[in-house]
């Protein structure tokens, strides 16, 4: 495409907003660009393990992201646009595109991830002549409409919730009917056969199309009206909403979702359960702004406070935890479900996180890094924020959570069905095979 130098050559970077509709950042780009180059940087390139020895993205999420990008590509082509998927270091890849296409404006959604903020700042510094703009698409509030200054974000969720509930949330999703023409054509075909078709058991399929199919099914059922009663169950597709993987990578926008929930409340029923779905979305909201406020403290051993937990790193205990081989059958069942599917219920996550920190006395950050690799719905703010909460170094004024494993087993798996299903067997009750001086324990 031959574009005059005076035209606004814009780049749109898709990150955790892999959708066209309800994407206010894309709308802003569409409004001001005369030609638009849509890109995303895939993390498929084998990345060096992080400081905890894990990859930033594992096979479950990789598959989900591949499906999501393919779906996004289809939606973009319906508007005569295309998606270029780049691989490698985002800062280097984006810089190449800026140079090659003489980009004058770059748009993306605001991102709570620290690495994402670092490369964005570096690109801005390296390209002072380019206009960089970010918009809020991952949250209910936008930064400029947040009812409090981010530096005053309360230390507890309850205070935040009370403020949020007194504020007006604009949850009308934006609609995009046309986009400026592309600067180049896509490098993935809409019917790319290299992307494996999901198997039957694959209940989570990436992409806005699957997200909306799931939402339509969920709100066509009676499950929203019983959510509060069933949400803590360990197993079962319909016991909680299962929105999280699509919300995490942005196939689904949280404002459009809230809008759908309000329609259900208006047309079907409004009760404590429907309120509780909203309540959980506010938890998500809180952790997003919490991550923006606390920056690198989200990953610090002592969290947002100054007291470090009385835990350490015990490689053998940690390995037993990740392998589902601890002395605690319920924990083992949860860890087996997590590694085989990439998903675990909220109660399951709380139980295994509490076990790692309390029974096994392991540094919580290793658990968070493991979750980061294996979770289908990994979201940096929700994951690291929840781990801090359980470890007692985050947003919990009560200072951490210790779940009584025996009690949890009786309450949530009284008939041992869940343990049987996920192979939750008891392993040796000795936590360690060697003592502190590395001598075998007889």
Ligand X SMILES: Cc1cc2nc3c(=O)[nH]c(=O)nc-3n(C[C@H](O)[C@H](O)[C@H](O)COP(=O)(O)OP(=O)(O)OC[C@H]3O[C@@H](n4cnc5c(N)ncnc54)[C@H](O)[C@@H]3O)c2cc1C
d(CA 50, CA 428): 30
231 binds ligand X (CB under 6 A): yes
d(CA 329, CA 331): 5
The residue range among 99-107, 203-211, 377-385, 410-418 that interacts with ligand X, by the rule CB under 6 A, is 377-385
273 binds ligand X (CB under 6 A): no
291 binds ligand X (CB under 6 A): no
Size of the site for ligand X (CB under 6 A): 29
* Closer residue to ligand X (CB): 82 or 322: 322
* Closer residue to ligand X (CB): 359 or 377: 377
391 binds ligand X (CB under 6 A): no
Residue 439 CB neighbours (<10 A): 8
Tell me, rounded to whole angstroms, the distance of Cα 141 from its chain centroid. 17
Alpha helix locations (H) across 249-296?
Answer: 254-267, 272-294
What angle do the packed helices 272-294 and 157-165 form, to 10 degrees? 110
* Closer residue to ligand X (CB): 120 or 289: 289
- Among 396, 371, 403, 369, smallest CA distance to 307 is for 396
Residue selected from 85, 234, 247, 374 as contacting ligand X according to rule CB under 6 A: 247
73 binds ligand X (CB under 6 A): no
CB of 410 to ligand X, least distance (A): 20
Residue selected from 73, 210, 241, 388 as contacting ligand X according to rule CB under 6 A: 241
The residue range among 184-192, 242-250, 262-270, 419-427 that interacts with ligand X, by the rule CB under 6 A, is 242-250
The residue range among 7-15, 106-114, 129-137, 376-384 that interacts with ligand X, by the rule CB under 6 A, is 376-384
CB of 442 to ligand X, least distance (A): 36
Residue 423 CB neighbours (<10 A): 14
Residue selected from 157, 287, 289, 318 as contacting ligand X according to rule CB under 6 A: 287
Task: Provide the total of helices (H) and of strands (E) in the chain, helices listed first.
Answer: 17, 5
Element at 38 (helix H, strand E): strand 35-42
* Closer residue to ligand X (CB): 24 or 382: 382
377 binds ligand X (CB under 6 A): yes
Strand order in the sheet with 35-42: 83-87, 35-42, 9-14, 105-109, 131-135
Residue selected from 204, 278, 387, 403 as contacting ligand X according to rule CB under 6 A: 387
CB of 3 to ligand X, least distance (A): 40
DSSP for residue 14 = E
d(CA 426, CA 271): 41
- Among 317, 346, 352, 332, smallest CA distance to 432 is for 317
137 binds ligand X (CB under 6 A): no
* Closer residue to ligand X (CB): 104 or 386: 386
242 binds ligand X (CB under 6 A): yes
Residue selected from 280, 297, 341, 412 as contacting ligand X according to rule CB under 6 A: 280
Distances, alpha carbon 217 to alpha carbons 65, 204, 221, 278, in Å: 22, 13, 6, 18
Residue selected from 273, 383, 388, 408 as contacting ligand X according to rule CB under 6 A: 383
The residue range among 18-26, 120-128, 161-169, 281-289 that interacts with ligand X, by the rule CB under 6 A, is 281-289
CB of 220 to ligand X, least distance (A): 16
Long-range CB contacts (< 8 A, 24+ apart) of 217-221?
218/242, 219/260, 219/261, 219/263, 219/264, 219/268
CB of 334 to ligand X, least distance (A): 11
DSSP labels for 180-242?
PPBSS--SS-TT-TTSPPPPTT-----SHHHHHHHHHHHHHSSGGGGHHHHTT-SS-TTSS--
Please say whether the beta carbons of 294 and 381 come within 8 A.
no
What residues contact 272, with CB distance under 8 A and at least 6 apart?
A: 228
CB of 13 to ligand X, least distance (A): 22
Residue selected from 60, 379, 393, 419 as contacting ligand X according to rule CB under 6 A: 379
Residue selected from 23, 28, 139, 345 as contacting ligand X according to rule CB under 6 A: 345
What does the binding site for ligand X look like in residue numbers (CB under 6 A)?
231, 240-244, 247-248, 277, 280-281, 283-284, 287, 345-346, 349-350, 353, 371, 375, 377-379, 382-383, 386-387, 390
């Amino acid at each position: 495409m031959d574009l005059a130098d005076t035209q606004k050559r814009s780049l749109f970077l898709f990150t955790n907003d892999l959708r066209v509709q309800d994407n206010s950042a894309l709308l802003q780009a569409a409004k001001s660009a005369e030609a638009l180059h849509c890109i995303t940087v895939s993390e498929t390139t084998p990345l060096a393990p992080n400081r905890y020895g894990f990859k930033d993205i594992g096979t479950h999420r990789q598959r989900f992201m591949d499906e999501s990008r393919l779906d996004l590509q289809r939606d973009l082509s319906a508007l005569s646009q295309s998606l270029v998927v780049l691989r490698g270091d985002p800062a280097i890849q984006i810089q190449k595109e800026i140079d090659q296409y003489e980009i004058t404006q770059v748009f993306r959604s605001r991102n709570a991830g620290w690495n994402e903020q670092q490369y964005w700042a570096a690109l801005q510094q390296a390209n002072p002549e380019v206009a960089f703009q970010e918009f809020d698409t991952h949250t209910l509030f936008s930064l400029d409409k947040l009812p409090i200054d981010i530096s005053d974000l309360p230390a507890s969720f309850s205070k935040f919730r009370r403020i949020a509930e007194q504020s007006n949330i604009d949850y009308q999703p934006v609609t995009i009917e046309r986009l400026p023409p592309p600067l180049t054509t896509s490098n993935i075909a809409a019917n790319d056969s290299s992307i494996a078709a999901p198997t039957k058991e694959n209940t989570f399929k990436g992409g806005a199309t699957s997200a909306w199919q799931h939402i339509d099914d969920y709100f066509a059922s009676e499950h929203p009206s019983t959510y509060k009663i069933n949400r803590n169950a360990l197993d079962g597709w319909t016991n909680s909403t299962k929105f999280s993987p699509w919300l995490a990578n942005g196939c689904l926008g949280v404002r459009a979702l809230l809008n759908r929930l309000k329609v259900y409340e208006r047309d079907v029923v409004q009760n404590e359960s429907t309120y509780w779905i909203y309540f959980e979305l506010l938890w998500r909201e809180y952790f997003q702004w919490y991550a923006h406020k606390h920056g690198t403290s989200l990953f610090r051993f002592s969290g947002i406070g100054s007291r470090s937990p009385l835990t350490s790193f015990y490689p053998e205990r940690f390995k037993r935890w990740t392998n589902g081989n601890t002395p605690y059958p319920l924990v083992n069942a949860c860890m087996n479900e997590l590694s085989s599917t990439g998903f675990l219920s909220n109660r399951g996550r709380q139980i295994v996180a509490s076990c790692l920190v309390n029974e096994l006395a392991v540094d919580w950050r290793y658990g968070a890094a493991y979750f980061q690799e294996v979770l289908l719905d990994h979201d940096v703010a929700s994951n690291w924020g929840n781990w801090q909460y359980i470890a007692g170094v985050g947003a919990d004024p009560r200072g951490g959570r210790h779940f009584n494993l025996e009690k949890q087993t009786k309450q949530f798996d009284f008939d041992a069905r869940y343990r049987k299903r996920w192979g939750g067997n008891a392993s040796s009750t000795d936590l360690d095979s060697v003592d502190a001086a590395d001598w075998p324990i007889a």
